[in-house]
Amino acid sequence: MSKNANLKLPVIPKIFFLKEMKACLTVFLLSMILFLLVIPAQSARATIWYVDDDAVGPGTGTSTDPFPTIQQGINAIFGSKDSVSVAPGLYKENITMTTHAKVYGAGAGSDPLVHSIIDGQSAGSVVVADGITGAILDGFTIRNGYLTSVSSGGGILILNSDIDIRNCIIKDNYAAGSGGGIHCQSSSSVEIFNCIFDNNTGGYGGGLSNYSSSPNVEECLFLQNTSNLDDGGGMRNTSNSNPTVNDCTFRENHSHWGGGAMYNNNSSPVITDCDFFDNTSNARPGGGIYNFDAENIEITDCFFEDNESYNNGGGAISNVLDCNIVITNTEFIENIADGPGGAIEGGSFVSAYNCIFLHNIAYTNGGAASGNLYTVNCTFAQNLAYGDGGGIYGSPVVTNSILWNNNPNQIAGGAATVNYSNIEGGHAGTNNINQDPVFVDLANDDIHLNIP
C-alpha cells in the first residue's frame, strides 16, 4: 500500500464554491453589459466620409485620403449618422442616393474652385432617389441632366422617397417627360429649401413636377424654366399633389401651353408669400397660374406683376372647370391677357379678400377679372378691357369694395350683386355709393385711401 493511501484530502466548505461561482457570474454579467453598451455606441458613432475631385487613386474616404467621386462616399455610408463632405470641384458623374445618405457640398455656384458642381454630362438624371428615407443633399449645383423619350427628372428624380434638397442650384437640365429640374413622384416627405431652378426644360413641367406628391417648397427661385409640350413652366402639380409653396419667386418662366409659372390639375397647393413676375403662357390660359379641375387652392400674401397669357385668358390666374380658389391679401399689377380676365379668368368659385387690381389689361372682356368672382374688401382701379367690363365682367358678388376709373366701365356682362361698395357711376344694391375714393396718388399708382 502506498504511503499516501491513508492521506485525507482537505474538505473545502460548500460556501467557498458558492462564493466563487457568484463572483464568476458577476464578472460574466458585467462583461456582457459592457459588450452590449460598446457595440451600439460604435455603430452609432458618426463617420464623415470625404470626397475631393483632385484625389488620386481610389482613396479611403478620410480627410487625408479622400474618395475622388461622390458615389464612393455615398456607398461607404454605414450608419444613420454618417455623412459625406464634398470639397469644391467639378464632379462629372450621375449619383444614386441611399437611405440615410447625408451629402454636403461646399456650396452651389458656377466656380469649381469654390463650389461643388455635379455635372450629369447629358447622360440621364444627375441625381436619383428611389425608395429611400432620411437623405439630405445640401450645397450643390446640379446641371446638365438629359433624358429623352418620356423619362422624367432631368436634374433630380425622386420616387417614393423621403429626402431634403437644400441650398442647391438646379440648372440647365432637360427631360422629355416630366420635370426638367426635379420630378417628384409618390413622395410626400420631401423638403426643397433655398434652391434655384434655372433654365430647366421639361415636356411636362419645366422646373419642378409633382405627381401624387406634396413636397414643402420654401424660399426658392424659379427662373426661366420652360414646359415645351404641355402645362407648367415653373411648377406642375397633378394627380392629387398638394405642395406647400412658401416665400418663393417665379420669374420669366414659360409654358408652351398653360400656366407659365404653375399648373394645377386635381391638386390643391397652398401658396403663401410668393411673387410672380413676367411669366407667360402660349396656347392655353394662365400666364402665371393655370388651374384645371383643381379644388381648394389657397393663395395668400402674394404678388402678380407683368404676367401675360398669349392667345388666351387669365394674365395672372386662369381657372377652368371645377376650381375652388381663395385669394387673400394679394396684388395684381399690370398683367395682360389676350383673352378675358387681365388678372383672373373664370372658375366655378373664386373668392378674393383684401386684394388690389391695378392696371391689368384684357384684350376682350374683364380688364381685371372675368367670371363669377366673389370679392370682399378689394380695390379695382385703372384696369382696361378692350371689350366690356373694365373692372369685372360676369356675374360677381361684390361687397365692401371699390371699383374706380376702370375702362370702359366698372362691371358688365351679367347680374352682379353689389353691396356696401363704392362704384364709379353707381350701382344698384344695398348702401352703395358713387363718391371719389380720394386715393393718395392715383396718377402714380398709389391707391391707398387718403384718410386724415
Residue 396 in contact with residue 372, Cβ under 8 Å? yes
C-alpha–C-alpha distance, residues 335 and 329, integer Å: 17
The string of DSSP letters for 404-443 reads ES-BS-SEESS--EEES-EETT--SSTT-B-----EEEGG
Domain boundaries along the sequence of the chain? 122-449
User: Based on the number of CB atoms within 10 Å of its own CB, is 452 exposed (0-12), middle (13-18) or buried (19 or more)?
Assistant: exposed
Contacts of 5 by beta carbon, 8 Å cutoff, 6+ apart: none
Is residue 40 classed exposed, middle or buried when 0-12, 13-18 and 19+ CB atoms within 10 A define those classes? exposed
Residue 94: CA count within 13 A, CB half-sphere: 18
List, in sequence order, every residue forming a beta bridge with 177; answer none if it has no partner.
Answer: none
What pLDDT, on the 0 to 100 scale, is given for residue 9? 42
Residue type, 322: D
Q: Which of 317, 266, 257 is nearest to 296 (CA)?
A: 266
Cα–Cα distance, 439 to 417 (Å, whole number): 25
Instruction: Please report the pLDDT score of residue 355 as a whole number.
Output: 98
pLDDT score of 18? 41
Q: What is the pLDDT of residue 36?
A: 41
Residues β-bridged to residue 317: 289, 344
* pLDDT, position 414: 86
CA 111 to chain centre: 26
The pLDDT of residue 452: 72
C-alpha cell at 321: 372647370
The CA distance from 177 to 121, in Å, is 18
Q: Which residues pair with 392 in a beta bridge?
A: 369, 411
pLDDT, tens digit only, all 452 positions of the chain: 444 444 344 444 444 444 454 544 454 444 444 444 433 444 457 999 999 999 998 999 999 999 999 999 999 999 899 999 999 999 999 999 999 999 999 999 999 999 999 999 999 999 999 999 999 999 999 999 999 988 999 999 999 999 999 999 999 999 999 999 999 999 878 999 999 999 999 999 999 999 999 999 999 999 999 999 999 999 999 999 999 999 999 999 999 999 999 999 999 999 999 999 999 999 899 999 999 999 899 999 999 999 999 999 999 999 998 889 999 999 999 999 999 999 999 877 899 999 999 999 999 999 999 999 999 999 999 999 999 999 999 999 999 999 999 999 999 998 999 999 999 999 999 999 999 999 999 888 889 888 77
CA dist., res. 419 & res. 400, Å (int): 7
**Cα within 13 Å of Cα(262), Cβ side:** 31
CB 145 within 8 A of CB 126: yes
Cα 288 to Cα 215, 314, 329, 384: the distances in Å are: 20, 8, 17, 19
